[in-house]
């Protein structure tokens, strides 16, 4: 008997909502709250009568702590699932503290005016969450999220120490547009146009954007170009996994995506510096978001598969071990099930499972945590049960 307050009504939220409604034994009630209430009402209309979960909706500006506190006090949820934007993480955490409510998100905070995401802002809440006796789970989508659980599972079952982790995120999907992003365009473009980085011997090594390229042959997808990016889970895994010497993150991009991105960058369209346009201040990247396809609309058009996982190299009983754990997810299967493409699906399913872990007491500790700090086993079972089954390979091709 638990109630979740889901904040946001975009692509990822749609999957969280569907999955909570499939898991009515745990989520007996949900309240969907977002900036645009009509989007929340649409989900309620679609699902009501098809689920035992009771659904309510509300309007909220998640930048406003007083509005959030009022909503939480009225709805009295057992957990808040934040699937709005990373800009709202701190205000929602503040409201959770004030109301003593558990918290979960899928992306770490970044200030709107500096495209730099890191955990320091949210880790700073640790003591206050401990004192309040509430749990915050950070970054519980696929990457970050499942990639952290995969690493913790590898550590628990197959390694004494993991020295190298390569996280490979492949999207072999095709939506038929010359250029579109698979999740919020503003957040996505900020991420991929930033400098790349990885951790080696305890230090960050910075690269130019897309400077390091590799080719990898992905199971069920085929050969793809992939590029080294900075990614948030590197920061927490380097601390939480024993013996790490190097940890890197690679994401696949097609040539058309990169050519369009370069052109948009060259003309200044990806800038987050405000400019004056006909007497009004606009941010070029926010304007670009307004003209690009809404990621939530890509579902029916996207075909192909994603393949995301971790290659771990290390030692067990003094012997070298290589281990690759990954999930393959089919865009059209996701669309048939919940009306979304696989990028939203692979993010929303883990968010629901993470919330279930907290609500059922399996991941309930006071404080602020990354997913790899908990027992991975019940979460790994949840992935198999709720639509993201994983595969293991003990002789993977390694990335040089
Ligand atoms: P969308 O842009 O589709 O949805 C964001 C939602 O948040 C919209 O409904 C939007 O409202 C709402 N929102 C924005 N600002 C506010 C506000 N101030 N108050 C209330 N609601 C607000 O994004 P996605 O669903 O694609 O992504 C959601 C999150 O998931 C992002 O944080 C993203 O970084 C993260 N993500 C994580 C991944 C992972 O693997 N860990 C992968 C992909 C995404 P409105 O409809 O009015 O605009």
pLDDT value for 118: 84
Q: Is the pLDDT of residue 299 over 90?
A: no
**Ligand 1 pocket: which of 7, 8, 309 to mutate (most atoms <8 Å of CB)?**
8
pLDDT tens digits for range 94-113: 999 999 999 999 999 988 77
The predicted model scores a pTM of 0.95
Question: 85: Cβ below 6 Å to ligand 1?
Answer: yes
pLDDT tens digits for range 205-242: 999 999 999 999 999 999 999 999 999 999 999 999 98
Q: Which domains does the chain have, with CATH numbers?
A: 2-138 (3.40.50.720), 146-339 (3.30.360.10)
Q: Is 98 exposed, middle or buried (0-12, 13-18, 19+ CB in 10 A)?
A: middle
- Structure tokens given for 48: 């009501």
pLDDT value for 296: 79
Q: Is the pLDDT of residue 115 over 90?
A: no
Q: Is the pLDDT of residue 123 over 80?
A: yes
111 contact partners, CB below 8 Å, separation of at least 6: 87
- Structure tokens given for 25: 């034994």
Task: Using DSSP bridges, classify how beta strands 161-171 and 305-316 pair: parallel, antiparallel or unpaired.
Answer: antiparallel
Q: Cβ distance 35 to 68 under 8 Å?
A: no
**Ligand 1 pocket: which of 7, 12, 39 to mutate (most atoms <8 Å of CB)?**
12
Which amino acid residue places its CA nearest to atom 10 of ligand 1? 8
* Torsion-angle region of 52 (φ positive above 0: left; ψ -120 to 50: alpha; else: beta): alpha
Please report the atom of ligand 1 found closest to the CA of residue 346. 40
Q: Span 349-378, mean pLDDT?
A: 98
Question: 81: Cβ below 6 Å to ligand 1?
Answer: no
Q: Span 128-138, mean pLDDT?
A: 98
């Amino acid at each position: 008997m638990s109630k979740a307050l889901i904040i946001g009504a975009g692509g990822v939220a749609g999957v969280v909502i569907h999955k909570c409604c499939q898991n009515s034994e745990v989520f007996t009630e949900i309240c969907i709250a977002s900036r645009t209430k009509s989007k929340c009402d649409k989900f309620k209309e679609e699902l009501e009568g098809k689920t035992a979960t009771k659904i309510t909706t509300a309007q909220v500006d998640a930048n406003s702590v007083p509005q959030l506190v009022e909503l939480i006090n009225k709805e009295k949820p057992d957990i808040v699932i934040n699937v709005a934007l990373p800009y709202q993480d701190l205000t929602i955490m503040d409201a959770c503290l004030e109301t003593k409510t558990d918290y979960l998100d899928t992306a770490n905070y970044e200030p709107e005016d500096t495209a730099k995401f890191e955990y320091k802002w949210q880790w700073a809440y640790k003591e206050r969450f401990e004192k309040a006796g509430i749990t915050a789970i950070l970054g519980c989508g696929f990457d970050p999220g499942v990639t952290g659980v995969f690493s913790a599972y590898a550590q628990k079952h197959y390694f004494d120490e993991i020295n190298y982790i390569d996280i490979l995120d492949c999207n072999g999907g095709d939506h038929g547009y010359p250029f579109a992003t698979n999740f919020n365009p503003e957040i996505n473009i900020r991420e991929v146009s930033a400098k790349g980085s990885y951790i080696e011997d305890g230090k960050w090594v910075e690269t130019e954007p897309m400077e390091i390229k590799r080719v990898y042959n992905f199971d069920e997808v085929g050969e793809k170009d992939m590029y080294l990016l900075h990614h948030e889970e590197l920061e927490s895994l380097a601390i939480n996994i024993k013996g790490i010497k190097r940890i890197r993150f690679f994401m696949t991009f097609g040539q058309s995506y990169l050519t369009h991105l370069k052109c948009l960058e060259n003309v200044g369209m990806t800038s987050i510096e405000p400019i004056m346009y006909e007497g009004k201040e606009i941010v070029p990247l926010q304007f670009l978001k307004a003209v690009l396809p809404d990621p939530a609309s890509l579902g029916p058009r996207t075909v192909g598969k994603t393949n995301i996982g971790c290659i771990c190299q290390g030692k067990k009983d003094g012997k070298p071990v290589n281990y690759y754990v990954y999930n393959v997810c089919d865009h059209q299967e996701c669309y048939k099930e919940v009306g979304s493409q696989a990028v939203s699906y692979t993010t929303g399913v883990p968010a629901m499972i993470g919330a279930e872990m907290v609500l059922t007491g399996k991941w309930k500790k006071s404080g602020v945590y990354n997913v790899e700090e908990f027992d991975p086993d019940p979460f790994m079972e949840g992935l198999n049960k709720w639509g993201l089954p994983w595969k293991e390979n003990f002789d993977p091709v390694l990335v040089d």
